[in-house]
Structure 1
Amino acid sequence: MTARTAPEDLYRQGLRLLLDKDIPGWVDLWDENGVFEFPFAPEGRPRRLEGKDAVAAYMRGYPDHIDLHDFPYVEIHRTDAPGTIVVEMRGVGRVVETGAPFDMSYIAVVTFEGGLIVRYRDYWNPLAVAGFAEGFAGSGR
């Protein structure tokens, strides 16, 4: 992975890592000072994670709660802002604890610098999965 790798290619690499449940590999796509934001997070849940270590701690248990199977829809839009893309996507799988289907649409605004994520704004609706893995959704450890 180099600074010359296009942001959309880096993002798709990250999706593959999530499907492979390679959370450490996904976290390696982050800059040490990267910021992960959840603008629609409900009260009591993290709205902003600062730094790669915070992102790693938050994501560590993800595969224990959500078993992602596929991203059947991914559309990546380039922007005029250097290194910034807007992603529309849908992730499907199952909620590990209950076996219930997981089907979530997302919009993300992601900025890369030097081949690493420096800012990721994740616009998803946590209320759409109200019954899933409260421990994960409320973690932010």
Structure 2
Amino acid sequence: MSAPTSPADLYRHSLRLLLDKDIPAWVDLWAEDGLMEFPFAPDGWPRRLEGRAAVAEYMRHYPDHIDLHDFPALLIHQTADPETIVVEMRGVGRLVETDAPFDMTYIAVVTVQDGHITSYRDYWNPLAVSEPGTDFTGSNR
């Protein structure tokens, strides 16, 4: 079966890969020069990851820190640009180190070209970070 190419289908597929903790396959969905941005990132957190390699490094330890269980209430909105979608969702699970619940609300603007993510702006809520220095991904901030 070939990989999905519509932005909505590719995004749904990406969420399944995150739930399966298949970070290498998730990273493979990215264009070589894909850009991931976090416009609301607090000081000390990355605001911009340029290229698939930077995204891979950022996500490398994600399953070691967050055990995702579900993405309830997923809404995918089409835009005037057929390659761009706006996503509203919640990610729920647990923080591996403390076994505390993880429940984060996201809005993302995602662009897909030629079956790969070229741009991902992740508007996660920095107020949800419960303690200074908490790092959900294990990445080098």
TM-score greater than 0.5 by the shorter chain: yes
Q: Say whether the 8 Å CA contact 2:59–2:137 is kept in structure 1.
A: no
- Please state how far the C-alpha of 1:111 moved relative to its aligned partner: 0.2
2:100 corresponds to 1:130: no
- Please state how far the C-alpha of 1:81 moved relative to its aligned partner: 1.4
How many percent of aligned residue pairs carry the same amino acid? 70
TM-score by length of 1: 0.92
Alpha carbons of 1:101 and 1:86: their partners in 2 closer, same or farther (altered >3 Å)?
same
AA at the equivalent of 2:6: A
For structure 1, the residue ranges without an aligned partner over 5 or more in a row are none
For structure 2, the residue ranges without an aligned partner over 5 or more in a row are none
Partner of 1:105: 105
TM-score by length of 2: 0.92
* 1:20-70 CA-partner distances (Å, limit 9, x unpaired): 000001000000000000000001110000000000000000001100000
Partner of 1:8: 8
SS in 1 for 2:42: coil
Structure-2 separation of matches of 1:51 and 1:137: 18
2:119 corresponds to 1:119: yes
Q: Size of the alignment, in residue pairs?
A: 140
Q: Which deviates more from structure 2 when the two are superposed, residues 127-136 or residues 90-99?
A: 127-136
Q: Say whether the 8 Å CA contact 2:36–2:55 is kept in structure 1.
A: yes
Aligned structure 1 segments of 4 or more residues deviating by more than 2 angstroms: 129-141
Q: Say whether the 8 Å CA contact 1:61–1:136 is kept in structure 2.
A: no
Structure-1 separation of matches of 2:16 and 2:36: 19
Structure-2 separation of matches of 1:29 and 1:19: 15
Q: Say whether the 8 Å CA contact 1:36–1:120 is kept in structure 2.
A: yes
Partner of 1:25: 25
